[in-house]
């Protein structure tokens, strides 16, 4: 149950909306084409489960901009056959970051042509995240996160193809993913996680990444497996990437 749900709405514009303390997710966007959400304020405590800020599902040509989202789950989640989604100028925190997915739960699910720019993550559990279930088909591709500010963010960069089940792997293809111009602090020692299944993630780009620990004197690191791509001007070093 959502506070507000937009179903099959085309050429939609929603602005200056303020939602507080939802018992579940706040805004659901389903099967919409050409919708803009701007100057949205969402505020729920960090310990409230399943209180996603904005869920985008089976929609295309969606703009989310100039908004503040604080919740107990994903600030924004984009999944279920969504494409051409632009997120810009969003301040996320607390919350679970901005997520692509989860994908691959049962039927084929896809996400492509997603662009997240000029956003911030403050004391979030995750930052820029792609998550796929290990038991279903689909793909996540042509996705860019750039110009991201991190303030004590947990898991600032994450690709996780074993979401909710670390023992099996699935068929969701992850490719053409770019993380560029990330700056700030990580609350955890592991700042970058690129956890791909045995079929591998391809064309993964890390560029102009500078993530340091929020705890003075501690070092952060990058961890990954089965990930193919390049890392340039990236700290921490991601030697796990292979060409």
- Rounded distance between C-alpha atoms, residue 176 and residue 212, angstroms: 25
Contact between 90 and 65 (Cβ < 8 Å): yes
For residue 145, what are the β-bridge partners? 116, 179
- Rounded distance between C-alpha atoms, residue 110 and residue 100, angstroms: 10
- Rounded distance between C-alpha atoms, residue 163 and residue 61, angstroms: 27
Q: How far does Cα 194 stand from its chain's mean position?
A: 13
Q: Is 96 considered catalytic here?
A: yes
Helix (H) / strand (E) element for 85: namely strand 82-92
Q: What SS3 state is found at 84?
A: strand
Sequence-ordered list of residues with C-beta below 8 angstroms from that of 226, at least 6 positions apart, any chain: 196, 197, 198, 199, 200, 201
Q: DSSP letters along 22-62, please? A: -SS-SEEEES-EEEEEEEEEEE--TT-TT--SEEEES-EEE
Tokens 């049962």 locate to: 106
73, 165, 189, 197: which one is catalytic? 73
52, 55, 74, 96: which one is catalytic? 96
Active site residues: 73, 96
């Amino acid at each position: 149950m959502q506070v507000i749900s937009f179903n099959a709405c085309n050429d939609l514009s929603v602005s200056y909306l303020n939602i507080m303390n939802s018992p579940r997710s706040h805004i659901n966007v389903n099967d919409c084409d050409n919708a803009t959400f701007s100057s949205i304020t969402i505020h729920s405590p960090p310990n409230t489960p399943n209180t996603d800020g904005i869920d985008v599902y089976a929609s295309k040509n969606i703009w989310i901009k100039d908004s503040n989202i604080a919740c107990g789950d994903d600030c924004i989640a984009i999944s279920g056959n969504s494409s051409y989604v632009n997120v810009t100028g969003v301040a996320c925190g607390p919350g679970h970051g901005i997520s692509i997915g989860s994908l691959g739960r049962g039927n084929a699910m896809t996400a492509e042509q997603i662009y997240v720019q000029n956003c911030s993550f403050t004391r979030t559990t995750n930052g820029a995240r792609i998550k796929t279930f290990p038991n279903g088909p689909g793909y996540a591709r042509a996705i860019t996160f750039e110009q991201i500010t991190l303030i004590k963010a947990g898991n600032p960069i994450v690709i996780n193809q074993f979401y909710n089940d670390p023992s099996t792997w699935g068929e969701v293809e992850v490719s053409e993913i770019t993380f560029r111009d990330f700056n700030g602090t990580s609350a955890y020692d592991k700042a970058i996680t690129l956890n791909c299944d045995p079929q591998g993630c391809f064309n993964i780009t890390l560029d102009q990444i500078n993530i340091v620990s929020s705890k003075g004197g501690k070092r952060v690191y990058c961890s990954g497996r089965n990930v193919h791509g390049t890392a340039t001007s990236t700290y921490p070093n991601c030697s796990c990437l292979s060409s």
